[in-house]
Amino acid sequence: MKKLLLVRHAKSSWVDFSQTDHNRPLNKRGLEAAPVMGQRLLKKQITPELIVTSTAYRAEATAKILAAELGLLDKIISNTNIYEAGIGNLLEVIYGLNNDFGHVMLVGHNPGFTMLANYLQNDRHIDNMQTCATALLSFDVDSWSEVKSGTLLDYDYPKNQP
C-alpha cells in the first residue's frame, strides 16, 4: 500500500512584479492557511514519512510550514522536476520515489497538481486544487513505479469548514 498526499502551495504574493515566478513568497493569507492545514492533517492523522517539494520559494515555504506542524522538518527534499510540471513529469517523480517510504507528500503547483489528482483517481472530480489544498490518495501497490489509479481518501482546502 502506498499513500500520496498532493499539496498545492499556499497563496503567494504578486506585490513585487520584479520577482521571478520561481522566487515569489507566500502572502499573508498563505502564511495563515499553511499552519492551519498542517494542523488539520495532524488531527486526521495524515502524517507522511517524506515531503518532496518543488524548488519554487512558495512551495518550499509551504512545505516547511506543514513540516513544522507535522514534526517533519528533517524529512523535506526539493525536486526541480516538480516546478511547472505536467502529469508526465509528476508521474516520473512519483515513479522514482524510494520504496522504503509508504506515505509521501508532494508540494507543487497548478495546473499540474489538479490534473494529476484527477488522473490518479475517479472518486471525485476536482475542478481546481485551491492554494494549500490537500488530496490524499491510496494505491494498492508495493512499488511507487506501479502507481496508476487509486482511491481518494481525503480532500481538503483552507476555506473548507471542518
**142 occurs within a structural domain:** no
What's 79's domain CATH number? 3.40.50.1240
Residue 16: per-residue pLDDT: 74
| Amino acid occupying residue 115 | M
Q: Is residue 139 part of a domain?
A: no
C-alpha 18/C-alpha 5 separation (Å) is 32
The pLDDT score that the predictor gives to residue 143 is 99
pTM exceeds 0.85 for this model: yes
| 161: in domain | no
* Amino acid at the residue 123: D
Four-point Cα dihedral 75, 128, 13, 77, nearest 10? 10
Residue 143 domain flag = no
Sheet holding 2-8, edge to edge: 76-78, 50-53, 103-108, 2-8, 134-139, 151-156
Find, among 112, 114, 122, the residue nearest to 149 by Cα.
122
Inter-CA distances, 107 with 10, 59, 65, 129, Å: 10, 6, 11, 12
Distance CA 52, CA 112 (A): 15
Give the number of domains in the chain: 1
Answer whether residue 95 is part of any domain.
Answer: yes
**Is residue 77 situated within a structural domain?**
yes
Residue 69 lies in a domain: yes
Domain that residue 119 falls in: 8-13+22-134+149-156
d(CA 117, CA 127): 10
Q: Any binding-site annotation on 58?
A: yes
> pLDDT tens digits, residue range 36-93?
999 999 999 999 999 999 999 999 999 999 999 999 999 999 999 999 999 999 999 9
For residue 141, tell me if it sits in a domain. no
Q: How confident is the model at residue 162 (pLDDT cuts 50, 70, 90)?
A: low
